[in-house]
Amino acid sequence: MALRAIAGKKTLTLGLGFGPRGAVAASCPGLGLRLRHVRGLVTFSLPDLPYDYGALEPAISGEIMQLHHQKHHQTYITNYNKALEQLEEAMAKGDSSKVVHLQSAIKFNGGGHINHSIFWQNLKPANEGGGEPPHGSLGWAIDTDYGSVEALVQKMNAEGAALQGSGWVWLALDKEMKKLKVETTANQDPLVTKGANLVPLLGIDVWEHAYYLQYKNVRPDYLKNVWKVMNWKYASEVYEKEVA
């Protein structure tokens, strides 16, 4: 599921706040979990990038990576936590109107946190394997469903370029049908809003903040270049786990 990336390779369900609240901190001392407790509520913090800000150059500039991570993603997390606290309060009071009112902020900011957490994993410096095309079962699946990796890339780039406003373009696995799909989502809607069975393999942020400082209005150039730092290995791992 999309949420798996939030906690990195560590336990998966904790990101959802399942299980007894006290157990989370007790069972996972030290770093790595990115969760903390405020009055028993599970809240979130900014995951570290597995590479330096400048490591994705020249495909994505260090300036963009730093802003994107430290400002944009952090803001989503901050506002997500705020909304969750307000939600907890509203639920405790039985304030249905407030509970419903908070949903859009949760969807937006929570979605932003989910999507960006996946995105950082989707990228990899070129000298660490970024851009290397997929092998194994994902490679075969792509050839089967799209003819070739190039054809898939072209399709994703076309959809990404045509997206009006802000959003994401995804390579998804429909885990029921065991088929690959290209999807787009608007704003910070996570992929799951397009189908409960969709698992994100790769996501490309086409919000202007993801590329504007470097590529200005030429989104197609950004889309062309981002593949040079695409972490197909991560996508393959997710894919293999789901179809196994």
Looking at 45, 213, 225, 228, which residue binds another protein (CB under 8 A)? 213
Give the residue among 168, 222, 174 at the shortest CA–CA distance from 198: 174
- Letters for 167-186 (x = contact with another protein by CB under 8 A, - = none) are x------------------x
- Per DSSP, the three-state class of 29 is coil
Contacts of 76 (CB under 8 A, 6+ apart): 108, 109, 110, 112, 113, 116, 188
Looking at 26, 29, 97, 164, which residue binds another protein (CB under 8 A)? 164
Looking at 216, 220, 240, 241, which residue binds another protein (CB under 8 A)? 216
Looking at 96, 103, 104, 148, which residue binds another protein (CB under 8 A)? 104
Q: How many residues bind another protein (CB under 8 A)?
A: 20
Q: Does 67 bind another protein (CB under 8 A)?
A: yes
Give the residue among 1, 31, 30, 38 at the shortest CA–CA distance from 16: 1
Stretch in the footprint of another protein (CB under 8 A) among 46-54, 138-146, 203-211, 233-241 = 203-211
CB-nearer residue toward another protein: 9 or 71: 71
Q: Does 108 bind another protein (CB under 8 A)?
A: yes
Q: Does 82 bind another protein (CB under 8 A)?
A: no
Looking at 62, 209, 220, 241, which residue binds another protein (CB under 8 A)? 209
Q: Does 103 bind another protein (CB under 8 A)?
A: no
- Letters for 5-44 (x = contact with another protein by CB under 8 A, - = none) are ----------------------------------------
Q: Does 208 bind another protein (CB under 8 A)?
A: yes
Here the tokens at position 157 are 């780039």
CA distance 172 to 183: 7
Q: Provide the annotated binding site.
A: 68, 116, 205, 209
Stretch in the footprint of another protein (CB under 8 A) among 42-50, 131-139, 152-160, 209-217 = 209-217
In degrees and rounded to multiples of 5, residue 32 shows phi and psi of 105, -20
CA distance 92 to 129: 48
Let me know: does 236 contact 124? Beta carbons within 8 Å.
Answer: no
Residue with tokens 């997710």: 238
Contacts of 149 (CB under 8 A, 6+ apart): 133, 134, 139, 142, 143
Q: List the Cα angle 47/193/20 in 5-degree steps.
A: 55
List alpha helices for 123-202, DSSP H: 136-146, 149-162
Q: Does 75 bind another protein (CB under 8 A)?
A: yes
* Residues comprising the chain, all counted: 244
HSE-up of 13 (CA within 13 Å, CB side)? Answer: 6
CB-nearer residue toward another protein: 51 or 212: 212
Residues contributing to the site for another protein (CB under 8 A) = 67, 71-72, 75, 104, 108, 164-167, 186-188, 207-209, 212-213, 216-217
